């Protein structure tokens, strides 16, 4: 059953259940609600890198931190569409374009992104964007251009948010999610663990996501990649069991969502990734870079899929199912 009236106590009880029991329950929910044996493969491209005015403590692209990120202006249409084509040839079915902006402005750069959305959509890929805060009208324009999903992470629980970001509020974040939803675009929204948050903060984040009127269509679960020069450099590495616990709880709370094993995968062995898949993760990012940090090689992923008997999920699967 899909429910969105979870209480915080229920979420906490699931989150704190013994790990083996939690994994078993998550795997059971996964088998009931998802096609097993398939994993969605997404590519994330930074179309505009660095120089961001925001102060997200984990992010190497914030202009105020000295991280050595090679900042560049908006990529050209040709570069983006040809990268999307290569991603498609390598098995990706979703292509996400990220720009290090605080919010979208109605200017020529946005017009160019609109063209990119059209171009990538024409390749038969599910197009996603992550461009910062968005008005309802801007969301509508993206929808008309063929945008399938919009990523906007809540990052952490509301009580911890001010310790990580001070240049915008949790409410701002939720408003953008509402604008995306109103435009009929799928919501991609998750968080990051390893930001110095408590279990209660993680539980609150999951509770916020799982009690939205409509669960996010995809939920990225990231482990902090601590980058030199950011305030969170030197943070302790996230233990794989914490990722497993987070993923399993997300799977149980939001059975239909694509739960994405996102940043931090580069530091995981194949065995550790298997634990995450068994706990209900069914989506990954492919490609050598995740915005600015390293990601596993495409060929390593292909070998892993072969070994595990996994196949990439086809694009627009939900629409196909509805049409049949
Ligand atoms: S996470 Fe996004 S909004 Fe925050 S500093 Fe990085 S690019 Fe800017």
Q: SS in 3 state form for 220-251?
A: EEEECCCCCCCCCCCCCCCCHHHHHHHHHHHH
Q: Cα(224)–Cα(153) distance, rounded to whole angstroms?
A: 13
H helix or E strand, kind and range, residue 208:
helix 199-210
Decide if pLDDT at 293 tops 80: no
pLDDT of residue 288: 67
pLDDT of residue 135: 97
Burial 114-136 (b: 16+ CB within 10 A, else e): bebbbbbbeeebbbbbbbbbbee
Q: What is the mean pLDDT of the chain?
A: 92
Is residue 132 lining ligand 1, measured as CB closer than 6 Å? Answer: yes
Is residue 131 lining ligand 1, measured as CB closer than 6 Å? Answer: no
What number is the average pLDDT over the span 91-119? 95
Decide if pLDDT at 131 tops 80: yes
Q: Cα(268)–Cα(289) distance, rounded to whole angstroms?
A: 15
Decide if pLDDT at 91 tops 90: no
Is residue 69 lining ligand 1, measured as CB closer than 6 Å? Answer: no
What number is the average pLDDT over the span 45-62? 94
Decide if pLDDT at 264 tops 60: yes
Joined tokens for residue 106 = 């109605």
49, 97, 100, best to mutate for ligand 1 pocket (most atoms within 8 Å of CB): 100
Decide if pLDDT at 319 tops 70: no
Between the CA of 282 and the centroid of ligand 1 the distance, in Å, is: 25
Which atom belonging to ligand 1 lies closest to the Cα atom of 130? Answer: 2
Whether the model pTM is above 0.85? yes
129 is catalytic: no
Decide if pLDDT at 292 tops 80: no
Q: For the CA atoms of the chain, what is the radius of gyration?
A: 18
Cβ–Cβ < 8 Å for 192, 156: yes
Residue of minimum CA distance from atom 5 in ligand 1: 62
pLDDT band at 314 (very low <50, low <70, confident <90, very high): confident
pLDDT of residue 289: 67
Catalytic residue among 25, 42, 56, 141: 56
User: What are the pLDDT digits (tens) for 224-263?
Assistant: 999 999 999 999 999 999 999 999 999 999 999 999 998 8
Phi, psi values for residue 132, rounded to 5°: 95, -160
Between the CA of 319 and the centroid of ligand 1 the distance, in Å, is: 32
Q: What percent of the chain has pLDDT over 70?
A: 95
49, 59, 102, 263, best to mutate for ligand 1 pocket (most atoms within 8 Å of CB): 59
What number is the average pLDDT over the span 281-289? 82
pLDDT of residue 324: 42
189 is catalytic: no
Q: Cα(304)–Cα(217) distance, rounded to whole angstroms?
A: 25
Cβ–Cβ < 8 Å for 38, 315: no
Is residue 100 lining ligand 1, measured as CB closer than 6 Å? Answer: yes
């Amino acid at each position: 059953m899909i429910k969105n009236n979870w209480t915080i106590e229920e979420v906490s009880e699931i989150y704190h259940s013994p790990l083996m029991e939690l994994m078993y329950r998550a795997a059971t929910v996964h088998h009931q609600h998802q096609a097993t044996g398939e994993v969605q493969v997404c590519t994330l491209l930074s179309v505009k890198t660095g120089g961001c005015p925001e102060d997200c403590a984990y992010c190497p692209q914030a202009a105020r931190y000295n991280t050595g990120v090679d900042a560049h202006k908006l990529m050209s249409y040709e570069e983006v569409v040809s990268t999307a084509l290569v991603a498609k040839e390598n098995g990706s079915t979703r292509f996400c374009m990220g720009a290090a902006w605080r919010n979208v402005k109605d200017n020529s750069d946005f017009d160019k992104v609109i063209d990119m959305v059209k171009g990538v959509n024409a390749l038969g890929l599910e197009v996603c964007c992550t461009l910062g805060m968005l008005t309802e009208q801007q969301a509508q324009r993206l929808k008309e251009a063929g945008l399938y999903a919009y990523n906007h992470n809540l990052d952490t629980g509301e009580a911890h948010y001010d310790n990580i970001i001070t240049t915008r509020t949790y409410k701002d974040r939720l408003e953008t999610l509402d604008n995306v939803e109103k435009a009929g675009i799928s919501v991609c929204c998750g968080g990051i663990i390893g930001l110095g948050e408590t279990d209660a903060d993680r539980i609150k984040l999951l509770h916020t996501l799982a009690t939205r009127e409509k669960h996010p269509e995809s939920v990225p679960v990231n482990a902090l990649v601590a980058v030199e020069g950011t305030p969170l450099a030197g943070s302790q590495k996230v233990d794989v069991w914490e990722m497993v616990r987070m993923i399993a709880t997300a799977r149980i709370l939001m059975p239909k969502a694509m739960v994405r094993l996102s940043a931090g995968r580069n530091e995981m062995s194949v065995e550790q990734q298997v634990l995450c898949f068994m706990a209900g993760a069914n989506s990954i990012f492919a490609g050598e870079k995740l915005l600015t940090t390293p990601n596993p090689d495409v060929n390593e992923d292909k070998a892993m899929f072969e070994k595990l008997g996994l196949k990439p999920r086809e694009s627009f699967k939900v629409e196909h199912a509805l049409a049949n």
